[in-house]
Amino acid sequence: MTQPVPPAFAERHIGPGDAETAAMLEAVGSPSLDALIDAAIPDGIRTETPLDIPPADSEQAVIDELRRIASRNTVVTSMIGMGYYGTHTPPVVKRNILENPAWYTAYTPYQPEISQGRLEALLNFQTVVSDLTGLPVANASMLDEATAAAEAMTLMRRAAKAKDGAVVVLDSRLLPQTTAVIETRALPLGIECVTLDLDGIDSADSLSFAVDGRPVFGVIVQYPGKDGQIRDYRALAEGAHGLGALVTAAADLLALTVLEAPALWGADVVVGTTQRFGVPMGFGGPHAGYMAVGQKLSRTMPGRLVGVSVDVEGEPGYRLALQTREQHIRREKATSNICTAQVLLAVMASMYAVWHGPVGLREIAVRTHSHARALADALRAGEWRSSPTSSSTRSPSRCRVRPARSPPRPWPTASTSASSTTTTCRSAPTRRRSRRTSKPCAPPSVSTRRNRSRSSSPSTGHWHGPRST
């Protein structure tokens, strides 16, 4: 028996066959594709000459060519940092999420009746972000950290009761790409950005003096700063609130597993990236951003919100909430016109958190800090020596970074002084050995967190409960 010849790559992936084309032409009442184009496309925008496109290669030939191009890349270890960090994607997340077409082809779940799994995974993302930032409402999700910070700027301008001509104050220790995107977004909106060294600004008077007495509608800080320092912004936040301004913290989500939640020292909005939660750097992107706000700002925040309802059988059901803020309903009056939510990468980050749990995430954060401290100590001691012509002068045995021993080095606690450069860290919750859950988790609605489940199960994909502060 003769085996049928499989169709070519283009025929397999692009467009219908002859029979399907004929059926559609008959349905629209057109004798041919040329006649359909003549009737549908105005002459003024048509070209009369055929496109000069070379014949398509086979699928294998294309793959071979892409591999030849990719082989020219030099794979090295990035030491730039600045919001982009090497991370390990657990095989269970890579296999079941990143490489699974049921997940990587998913789009916005506007039809909840067929999207309960994706909605539950995104609600889990919101729960993780809400737990770590200390704010009750988190979206799912944003394009990246820089655009999330720019969205926070416009959110603060809408919500703050400031006079016309009010400025936004940017921390001089913001990541450079974040500052660049904020300034670019502010330019057409007529918003003036003032970049300041915020050390020593600890009251409404000092903040007002720093901006020459102009009204301020918002302050954006980096937590920790791009220099790695952890600053106590409590006094700054109180001063900003005294001027009627709001405060946004661009926060490292992994660092928040050990640092004091920004909401506890006065942040009104928290933004950032989830790249450190198992998402590869990917030569700079994409990575899912996040935003968390208080209840009063929930109706003016951008991005999609997943909430919990009750179905006709009395069971919890997930659906998109507060959609009247969004572009597909409000059009030009929407809270944002950036519709990209990076859903796949948000799901990866949420499942990374489920896989490790709060104790595991804190251990990763402490180990990461220990590596950085060991390297910094060795560099200060002059134990790392290199030559421009030879790498043989390095002493790996004297400068090797060792993982943290158990128990880890005690984390610094905050000083009560306003000039303190450290802030309070939470203690690690008790490790849970069991991964079973006796009943389905009932995640919270957008408006409350009181019903959050404290159980965890990789099979249900839920966060292990809140951190202790």
Provide the pLDDT for residue 441.
38
In a shared domain, residues 141 and 214: yes
Tell whether 65 is covered by a domain: no
Q: pLDDT grade, residue 466 (50/70/90)?
A: very low
Q: What is the pLDDT of residues 185-217, one digit of tens each?
A: 999 999 999 999 999 999 999 999 999 999 999
Q: What is the CATH number of the domain that holds 144?
A: 3.40.640.10
> CA of 457: how far to CAs of 113, 124, 438, 469, in Å?
23, 12, 10, 23
- Kindly report whether the global pTM for this prediction surpasses the value 0.75: no
pLDDT beyond 60 at 456: no
Can you tell me the distance from the alpha carbon of 429 to that of 46, in angstroms, rounded to the nearest whole number? Answer: 66
**Cβ atoms 165, 223 nearer than 8 A:** no
Structural domain of residue 271, as residue ranges? 96-349
Handedness of CA 58, 60, 63, 65 (dihedral sign): negative
Can you tell me the distance from the alpha carbon of 256 to that of 131, in angstroms, rounded to the nearest whole number? Answer: 10
Tell whether 72 is covered by a domain: no
Tell whether 53 is covered by a domain: no
Number of domains in the chain: 2
Provide the pLDDT for residue 182.
97
Tell whether 423 is covered by a domain: no
In a shared domain, residues 212 and 311: yes
Q: What is the pLDDT of residues 371-426, one digit of tens each?
A: 999 988 998 888 655 444 444 334 333 333 333 333 444 443 333 333 333 333 44
In a shared domain, residues 14 and 150: no
In a shared domain, residues 126 and 38: no
In a shared domain, residues 156 and 256: yes
Residues in Cβ contact with 80 at an 8 Å cutoff, skipping those fewer than 6 apart: none
Tell whether 78 is covered by a domain: no
Mean pLDDT is lowest, of 255-269, 306-320, 455-469, for 455-469
Domain boundary among 315, 349, 383: 349
| 216-223: strand order across its sheet | 137-138, 289-293, 269-273, 246-251, 216-223, 167-171, 193-196
In a shared domain, residues 41 and 103: no
